[in-house]
Amino acid sequence: MRIKKGLTGLIVGALMLGLLAGCVGKNETNGGDNGGGAAGGKVKLTMWGAVPPENGPQEVVDTWNAEHPDIQVEYVRFVNDDDGNLKLDTALSTGQNVDLYVNYTLTNLDKRIKGGTALDLGEFTDYNIDEKMGEDAASWKVDGKYYGMPTKKNAAFFALNMKALDQAGLSVPKAWTWDEAREYALKLKASGFKYGLVQHTASYVDPLDSVLVKNGYVKADGTSNLDDPLVTKWLETLNGMMKEDATTPPLGEQLTSKMPVENMFLGGESAMINIGEWLIRTSNNMTEFPRDWKIAFAPVPRLAAQEADMVKSGGLGDFIAINSKSKNKEAAWEFLKWYADGGMMPMAAGGRLPSSNAVDQQTAIDHLLGDYADSYDKESLEFVLYGDETPTFVRSIAQEVVDLRAQEYEKFFLGNQTAEVTVQNMVKRHNDWLKQNQ
């Protein structure tokens, strides 16, 4: 009852806020409070992002504000979940003060572009996003245009317990298949770990997307391609690891206990973890997670037999858009360029490596590793961050498809249906969805 009340309250509140803010927003522009340059030379920008202010953003805007008394930036945090994104979308579509905002998925960005709240950055000619950010930036283009700027380098990788690898006589792989990773997990478990591999549920599907980005989510005839043989391969590999090898936690157990996989890896319960650059935030916390071993890094394994067929999860992230209704587009643009070209550096300690080539790689890594650089295998880290030439992707499918897939493979891993039925159900539901959204 209480929760229900709370949530209803939230929704009603959001609606009300929308209404009220609509009025307030208008008043403010009339009053000149937000009227930018005209009012007295001082521009106030509001930037919405999902990183807690204390993890870097506050330092970023403080630095900017100190250097630019004429353009003051305020950081507003929204939580990057359904409720948080709804809050941002409501703010955007009701004209509240949002000048810049960070998109974390293409799916969300797409909605915001359709809603006419993302500015086409093509109108600014003094910064070449493709040149600055490299090839990976292009996956954020929508209809060939940049409705924002990707600012962060995503990195998905396996982090490995190097001491355990050495003891088991295993080398740090630079490219490998899931079959090999499964072997690794078995050998590492045999050397005394509870699990060979743990992963976040969010990273579970990366191998699937790797396959489907390469081979297409949809076949040439417009029907679902979720029955690609490699999808079955993925289902059976992970299932075998859970049930036959017991080298990775059963999904049911992981879901119900909201398993803290980072802690398990750092605490020595698991020898490998499928994760991304945000691991460093936790692994640098030596007081809570002390360890006497180095962390090595390997690319995420591939399902395909051929190395040339691999496309890995990664690309760029933190795609910052300028609200097309903003009164201060020019000022927002100035800030955005500064932010991307190194202004965001205080956020590197939390794993957000700048993607702009205006930023020195070494400086970024130094920020990332902080005082504990010695506790990482630097060579393999540099390889997964900058050396690996495998093409990358950013997941771009609709939330509905992500969800329907998850619902079906969860049933499989819980033993409710066979791999064959799972694939059939996924395909059927995907086809239904395609029909609905053609």
Partner 1 sequence: MHKSWMKRQSRLGYLFIGPNMIGVLLFFIIPAVYSFYLMFTDYKFMSPETHFVGLDNIRRMLNDDLFGVALRNTFVFLLAVPVSMGLAFIVAVALNKSVYWQKTLRALYFMPYITSGVAIAFVWMLLFQPTSGPINGFLRGIGIANPPGWLSTTEWSMYAIDIIWIWFMLGYNMIIYLAALQEIPEELVEAAKIDGARPWQTIRQVIWPLVSPTTFLLLITGLIMTIKNFGIIQAITQGGPGNSTTVLSLFIYQNAFRYYEMGYAAAISWALFAIIMVFTVMQWLGQKRWVHY
3-state DSSP call for residue 177? strand
- DSSP letter at 104 equals -
Q: Which residue type does 112 have?
A: R
Is-contact 316 137, C-beta < 8 A?
yes
Cα–Cα distance, 410 to 235 (Å, whole number): 10
- How many alpha carbons lie under 13 Å from residue 313 in its C-beta half-sphere? 25
Report in angstroms how near the CB of residue 18 gets to partner 1 at its nearest.
11
Torsional sign, CA 80, 85, 86, 90: positive
Cβ proximity to partner 1: between 69 and 258 the closer is: 258
Q: Do residues 175 and 375 make contact, with C-beta atoms less than 8 angstroms apart?
A: no
Task: Count CB neighbours of 69 within 10 A.
Answer: 9
Q: Among residues 163 and 194, whose Cβ is nearest to partner 1?
A: 194
In the complex, minimum distance from the CB of residue 68 to partner 1, in angstroms, rounded to a whole number = 32
Q: Characterize the bridge pairing of strands 156-161 and 295-298.
A: antiparallel
Q: What are phi and psi of 109, to 5 degrees?
A: -60, -45
Which is nearest to 209 in space by CA: 392, 358, 5, 6?
392
Query: For partner 1, which is the closer residue by CB, 6 or 32?
Result: 6
- Minimum distance, C-beta of residue 251 to partner 1, in the bound complex (Å): 7
Q: Specify the residue, 76 or 259, whose C-beta has the smaller distance to partner 1.
A: 259
Nearest residue (CB) to partner 1, 258 versus 287: 258
Interacting residue ranges for partner 1, rule: CB under 8 A = 1-4, 6-7, 11-12, 15-16, 82-83, 86, 89, 92-93, 111-112, 114-117, 250-253, 255-258, 398-400, 403, 406-408, 410-411, 414, 416, 429, 436
Rounded to whole angstroms, the Cα distance separating 164 from 295 reads: 10
Tokens 């499928």 identify what position?
A: 274
Q: Where are the beta strands (DSSP E) in 89-130?
A: 100-103
CB of 199 to partner 1, least distance (A): 16
Residue 371's identity, in one-letter code, is D
Closest to partner 1 by CB, 105 or 392: 105
Buried b (16+ CB within 10 A) or exposed e, 320-335: bbbbbbbbbbebbbbb
**Minimum distance, C-beta of residue 335 to partner 1, in the bound complex (Å):** 25
Give, for 319, the enclosing helix (H) or strand (E): strand 316-322
Question: Which stretches does DSSP call E strand in 212-309?
Answer: 270-276, 295-298
Least gap, CB of 276 to partner 1 (angstroms):
22
* Nearest distance, CB of residue 14 and partner 1, angstroms: 9
Is 3 or 308 the residue whose CB approaches partner 1 more closely? 3
Whole-angstrom distance, CA of residue 114 vs CA of residue 240: 43
Q: Please say which residue, 373 or 414, places its beta carbon nearer to partner 1.
A: 414
Q: Which residues pair with 219 in a beta bridge?
A: none
Q: Tell me the closest approach of the beta carbon of residue 114 to partner 1, in angstroms.
A: 5
**Least separation, in Å, of the C-beta of 252 and partner 1?**
3
Which C-beta is closer to partner 1: that of 186 or that of 255? 255
